[in-house]
Amino acid sequence: MTAVSEEPKGEHRFPVAIATALAIVLQVVLPTNLAFHPSFLLPGLEGLLLVGLVVANPRRINRASVFLRGGSVGLIALISLANAWSTAKLIKSLVDGSAGNNASLLLSRGASIYLTNILVFALWYWEWDRGGPVARAHGERPYPDFLFPQTTQPSLAPPGWTPTFFDYLYVSFTNAAAFSPTDTMPLSRWSKMLMLLQSAMALLTVAFVIARAINILK
């Protein structure tokens, strides 16, 4: 009788690594007046942490390690700090009139910060829901922090379905676009606070940038 091999647990590293690398690149291409100084410091630290995480666990994220989890959380925190700094600097420049009169350039900078906002909050949701990707893979925590449609309607998903990074990226995108949850509801206090913070940052960025761009075009 042929033994059926069990499907390996844990998500693939590749999608998360690509999203993280894109968030770092978006920081690098921002002008120096919007970057945390010295401008190479945070992207450099983030790049080193990303390389370290990929080398330590290159294929599937299924190995429990305090150091790997700490490195992952630290990496996301650094990206969050850099993007929050850039958001504050952009809004300040719009308020005091130092942002310039190039509408296209202003929109591209706002779009870069807005996209980074989506990526970094997707990483936070992915990292903390039910204890993180490793804990989800091993079913260590029974209660979710986000209520996905597949969990309310089990017949619409395969048995044992668990969300992956793309699901959290979708949650982050819709929250940033609608400024509120859509089909996935936050359950825990921390998930509600994170979604509130993301919506506020996205709303401020969009409102100030678009208002200034329209004023320039007039």
Whether 132 maps to a domain, the answer reads yes
Which pLDDT does position 60 carry in this prediction? 86
Cα–Cα distance measured from residue 32 to residue 88, given in angstroms and rounded to the nearest whole number: 14
Whether 191 maps to a domain, the answer reads yes
For residue 199, give Cα distances in angstroms to 21, 44, 57, 157, 203: 23, 28, 32, 29, 6
Whether 128 maps to a domain, the answer reads yes
Average pLDDT of the chain is 89
Whether 2 maps to a domain, the answer reads no
Domains held by the chain: number: 1
Whether 54 maps to a domain, the answer reads yes
Cα–Cα distance measured from residue 30 to residue 35, given in angstroms and rounded to the nearest whole number: 7
pLDDT of 3 above 80: no
Greater confidence, 58 or 15?
A: 15
| Structural domain boundaries enclosing 154 | 11-217
Whether 6 maps to a domain, the answer reads no
Q: Which residues pair with 146 in a beta bridge?
A: 186
* Selection from 206, 68, 218 nearest residue 133 by Cα: 68
Whether 5 maps to a domain, the answer reads no
Whether 1 maps to a domain, the answer reads no
Greater confidence, 58 or 121?
A: 121
The confidence band for 102, taking pLDDT boundaries of 50, 70 and 90, is confident
Which pLDDT does position 158 carry in this prediction? 87
pLDDT of 161 above 90: no
* Selection from 16, 2, 38 nearest residue 132 by Cα: 16
